[in-house]
Structure 1
Amino acid sequence: MAALVAVLIDPKDNVAVVLDSVKEGQEVFCRNGAIQLSIKAKSDVPRYHKISVCKIGKGDAIVKYGEHIGVAAEEIEAGVHVHLQNVQSRREAL
């Protein structure tokens, strides 16, 4: 299987956006400037969706583009598709 690329927008992000559909077992390379890492997909991830780049504990913030976009509804292992099935909305004071 070919390696795929995902984009980390902010160094604080714990999810990256995949630039093509990912199949379970594929290696995904994430980068943001000097930050580069490789993770093995533990689930299929549709194009332009989020993949976790590290373990995210239940109740922990999901961070994309340097902003909290919700909280983990369950523990999320690195390499897992992050979407409605494992994220809860959380409104924060603006």
Structure 2
Amino acid sequence: MEKRAIQMDPHDNVATVLFDVQIGDMVWVYDQNQVLVERVVAQSPILSGNKLALSDMPEKSTMIKYGENVGVVIKPIAKGHLVHVHNVRSMHLDIPDSIIRDIISVMNITE
């Protein structure tokens, strides 16, 4: 089965995976018009609905989704890795550290 993800805006540096992805899976990234944008090899497990890095994202860089700056990278993220609360902080929502720890634990994030 083709593992797909959607990039909401051409400026986005993340895409939302539409199927659970395992390390080594080829992820086919499409735009909103269902045109293939690129293929990315997953470097970490990513559950459906979560974000995949489309490029290397250095610390203090900006995560872009829907063409908007939505987060600040708190530790470097390599292309193909999961982008979530363990490596990005929202620019719009202050999530308490205790909630972040719970999310990381429940999702079994080990990066």
Shorter-chain TM-score above 0.5: yes
Amino acid at match of 1:18: V
| Separation of aligned partners in 1, 2:37 and 2:67 | 17
Structure 1 unmatched ranges of 5 or more: none
Structure 1 residue 49: Cα displacement: 0.4
| Separation of aligned partners in 2, 1:35 and 1:56 | 22
Matches within 5 A, 1:5-84: 5-32=4-31, 33=33, 36-84=37-85
Structure 1 residue 56: Cα displacement: 0.7
| Separation of aligned partners in 2, 1:48 and 1:68 | 19
| Separation of aligned partners in 2, 1:31 and 1:71 | 24
Identity %: 31
| Separation of aligned partners in 1, 2:87 and 2:27 | 20
State the structure with bigger RCO (CA 8 A, min sep 6), 1 or 2. Answer: 1
Alpha carbons 1:6, 1:18 under 8 Å: kept? yes
Alpha carbons 1:43, 1:79 under 8 Å: kept? yes
Moved over 2 A (4+): none
| Separation of aligned partners in 2, 1:56 and 1:45 | 17
Query: More strand by proportion, 1 or 2?
Result: 1
**Cα RMSD for the two superposed structures:** 1.3
Q: TM-score, normalised by structure 2?
A: 0.76
Structure 1 residue 67: Cα displacement: 1.1
Structure 2 unmatched ranges of 5 or more: 93-111
Amino acid at match of 2:84: H
| Separation of aligned partners in 2, 1:60 and 1:85 | 15
